[in-house]
Chains A and B, each alone.
Chain A
Amino acid sequence: MALIDLSKREVHCKIVYYGPGRCGKTTNLLYIYNSMNSNAKGKLLTIETKGDRTLFFDLLPLNLGKINGFDIRIQLYTVPGQAIYEATRKLVLKGVDGLVFVADSLRVRRNKNIESLKDLMHNLKEYNLDIHTMPLVIQYNKRDLTQSPIPTLTVEELEQDLNRELGAQTYEAAATKGIGVFETLKDISKKTVRYVATKHLLNPKKQMEKAL
């Protein structure tokens, strides 16, 4: 749910990085945070856990500054990927405006990818959201492992499993090395802000009446 403060002229959007456990969601955010050297980023918030798995969420606020008098803020969230954290994932998804689905290229994670996508669609439904109409980008992460002896899925297989019906923009990535990370981020940010801004600035009076 975007927050549009017409008095303060601010637009807040929420982008959630979703995907099965250990697929690289937090790594995406870590990379963005640590490699971006600008005032555009806020503090990366990760909740202390024993180990390196996300327990609740990670948050990275980004600020585009003032554009046409409006302050555009984008908040990047990740969700915990393990199956047992379903309730938490649902919570973090609340108010989401744009999605990045991070898929794991490891062959052994094939089913987990598919389950996680189904889980996402299900959770969105509970908020009356439809993945087909929302800004969405799919990232095929860990592509660097195709060079290693570890069995990986081909892009075709990933497309077949995850993108056959959605037809979303996809990016191949290796988040630990930063490959594909910013491409994903830029695309989803643009899509999300476009979506939100168009919705609310197209016919503001009507929108405000409706909202109130």
Chain B
Amino acid sequence: MADLVLTGPALEKARSQINDALIEAGVHTVLLIDQAGNVVASCGQNRKDLDVTSLAALAAANFGATSQMAKLIGEDDFSLLFHKGKRDSIHFAKVGNELILVTIFGDEVSLGLVRLRVAELTDSIEKIFGQGN
């Protein structure tokens, strides 16, 4: 697994797209993390009550675990995960091979909207990091 080296413009572009597509639509928080559990970018509310480090580590482990399960049942991967909470929910989507987009949203945003926006975002973010600077 190659070390991931990020650059300013690429990250900024990604953050900007995330803001426009999701945060503006009412999503609380979006984290772009790598599969080792590091936070690459974080957008949205700066919630004091959110332990982003732990969340990222767990999200990566969760994703990794379900990915392994997928392989066990003969699937290539599960590229999506969704956990529904009473008030808030979390949506995970793979971005390329290295990154995971974690979206935390409440009742006021429909799941359908999140799904649609995330589907577009993952494509465009993948392109950003694939192109390099």
Interface range on chain B (Cβ under 8 Å from partner): 20 to 34
Q: Are A1 and B4 in contact (CB under 8 A)?
A: yes
* Given A3-B40, A43-B53, A212-B5: 20 more A-B contacts, CB < 8 Å: A3-B34, A3-B36, A6-B8, A7-B11, A43-B51, A45-B54, A56-B65, A57-B61, A87-B65, A90-B68, A91-B68, A92-B61, A94-B36, A196-B3, A199-B3, A208-B5, A208-B7, A211-B2, A211-B3, A211-B4
Given contacts A61-B53, A92-B61, contact A2 B3 (CB under 8 A): yes
Given contacts A12-B38, A45-B54, contact A4 B64 (CB under 8 A): no
Q: Contact mask B28-47 → A, CB, 8 Å, 1/0?
A: 00000011111010000000
A90: nearest residue on chain B (CB-CB)?
B68
Contact residues, A110-130 vs B (CB, 8 A): 127-128
Dominant secondary structure of chain B at its interface with chain A: mixed
Contact residues, B49-67 vs A (CB, 8 A): 51, 53-54, 57-58, 61, 64-65
A75 to B52, CA, bound (A): 14
Q: Contact mask B1-16 → A, CB, 8 Å, 1/0?
A: 1111111100100000
Q: Are A87 and B36 in contact (CB under 8 A)?
A: no
Decide yes or no whether B132 CB sits under 8 A from chain A: yes
What's the minimum C-beta distance from B69 to chain A, rounded to whole angstroms? 9
Q: Are B34 and A75 in contact (CB under 8 A)?
A: no
Q: Are B57 and A94 in contact (CB under 8 A)?
A: no
A91 to B61, CA, bound (A): 7
By a beta-carbon cutoff of 8 Å, the part of chain A in contact with chain B is: 1-8, 12, 14, 42-43, 45, 47, 56-57, 59, 61, 75, 87-88, 90-92, 94-95, 127-128, 196, 199-200, 207-208, 211-212
In the complex, chain B residues whose CB is within 8 Å of the CB of A5: 6, 11, 40
In the complex, chain A residues whose CB is within 8 Å of the CB of B8: 6-7
In the complex, chain B residues whose CB is within 8 Å of the CB of A199: 3
Given contacts A94-B35, A95-B34, A95-B36, contact A6 B6 (CB under 8 A): yes
